[in-house]
Amino acid sequence: MTFSENIKTVCVIDDDKIYVYGLKKLISIKQLCPNLIEFENGKLAIDFLANPENQATLPDIIFLDINMPVMDGWDFMDNYVKIKPQLGKKITVYMISSSISNEDIDRAKSISDVSDYLIKPVSPNKLIELFNMAA
């Protein structure tokens, strides 16, 4: 498998450095995407997305953790919905968490800008499937 022509950049918003490392490694090994940007909280990611200077490097897919310091995944989505019209690009957002709580799953699925809720760890086959759907 080689990089998809449609998916140039993936963004991982997660404070779990070990999980982020593993996800980056998997994306690299499977050659799913040539560029990966990461943020340890939602605030840093919102600041990046909202900055017009970053227009050329906006991600095609965002993998968003729920539980993070500073700004969690829910607060990120509240802010993302506000800035989305200014981005000028369709970005697929997946919420990823180790939480199996029905409350979290239902809440994520109730947000129209969230494509799916995934439980950590995401298997290599599921990751490939997600990239194929977004391509």
18-61: pLDDT as tens digits = 999 999 999 888 888 889 999 999 999 999 999 999 988 999 99
Q: Is the pLDDT of residue 8 over 90?
A: no
User: Looking at the domain assignment, is residue 1 inside a domain?
Assistant: no
Average pLDDT, stretch 73-93?
93
Closest CA to 95 of 9, 1, 80: 80
User: Looking at the domain assignment, is residue 2 inside a domain?
Assistant: no
User: Looking at the domain assignment, is residue 43 inside a domain?
Assistant: yes
Q: Which domain holds residue 69?
A: 9-134
Q: At what angle do helices 73-87 and 42-50 cross, to 10 degrees?
A: 10
- Look up the pTM and report it: 0.91
User: Looking at the domain assignment, is residue 34 inside a domain?
Assistant: yes
Q: What is residue 51's predicted lDDT score, i.e. its pLDDT? A: 95
**What CATH number is given to the structural domain containing 109?**
3.40.50.2300
User: Looking at the domain assignment, is residue 4 inside a domain?
Assistant: no
Our count of domains for the chain comes to 1
Residue burial 89-105, b: 16+ Cβ < 10 Å; e: rest: eebbbbbbbebeeeebb
Q: What is residue 1's predicted lDDT score, i.e. its pLDDT? A: 45
Q: What is residue 5's predicted lDDT score, i.e. its pLDDT? A: 66
Q: Is the pLDDT of residue 113 over 90?
A: yes
**pLDDT band at residue 101 using 50, 70 and 90 as cut-offs:** confident
User: Looking at the domain assignment, is residue 112 inside a domain?
Assistant: yes
